[in-house]
Amino acid sequence: MNVLVYLVPMALALGATALFAFLWSMRSGQYDDMDGAALRVLSDDDVE
């Protein structure tokens, strides 16, 4: 069971990372325009 010594902190760290990633993406406005994001990917401005 010694394996728990590093597996448990790793699991918790991964969970916390995911939570902070989500909160960050929310704060940076990535959920404000869900329909727009789906369409913007289709436009090829960067190719021109």
Partner 1 sequence: MAEALDLSAYVSRSGGAAHMTLAVEGVGCAGCIRKIEGGLLRVPGITGARLNFTNRRLAVEWREDAIEAGEVMRALERIGYPAHPFEPERAELDETGHARWLLKCLAVAGFAAMNIMLLSVSVWSGAISDMGQETRDFFHWLSALIALPAAAYAGQPFFQSALRAIRARQLNMDVPISVGVLLALAMSLVETANHAENAYFDSAVMLLFFLLCGRYLERAMRRKTRATAGNLAALRAEIAHRLDAKSGELVRVPAAALRSGDRILVHAGERVPADGVVISGASEIDESLVSGETAPKAVKPGLHVYCGSTNFAGALTLRVTAAGQGTLLNQIERLLDKAVAAKSRYVRLADRAARLYAPLVHATAALTGIGWLAAGASLHDSMITAIAVLIITCPCALALAIPAVQVVAAGTLFRTGVILNSGDAIERLAEADTVVFDKTGTLTVPELRVANAFALEPGVLEMAARLAISSRHPLAQVLAREARTSIPYDGVVEEPGRGVRAMIEGSEARLGNPAFCGVADVQDAADPAASVMAFSHAGGTVLLAIRQQLRPDAVETVKALRRIGNEVIILSGDRGAAVAPVAETLAVRNWSAGLKPADKITILDRLKAEGKSVLMVGDGLNDAPALAAAHASMSPISASHLAQTQADALFLGESLRPVLETVVLARRAHKRMKENLALAVIYNLVAVPIAIAGYVSPLLAAAAMSGSSILVTLNALRARERFASRHRSRTPLHHVLEPEPA
The contact set with partner 1 (CB under 8 A) reads 1, 4, 8, 11-12, 15-16, 18-19, 22-23, 26, 31-36, 39-40, 42-43, 45
DSSP state for residue 20 in the 8-state scheme: H
Calpha distance 15→10 (Å, rounded): 9
Minimum separation from the CB atom of position 21 to partner 1 (A): 10
Minimum separation from the CB atom of position 38 to partner 1 (A): 8
Name the token pair of 3.
């394996």
* Total residue length of the chain: 48
DSSP state for residue 28 in the 8-state scheme: T
Residue 6 vs 36, nearer CB to partner 1:
36
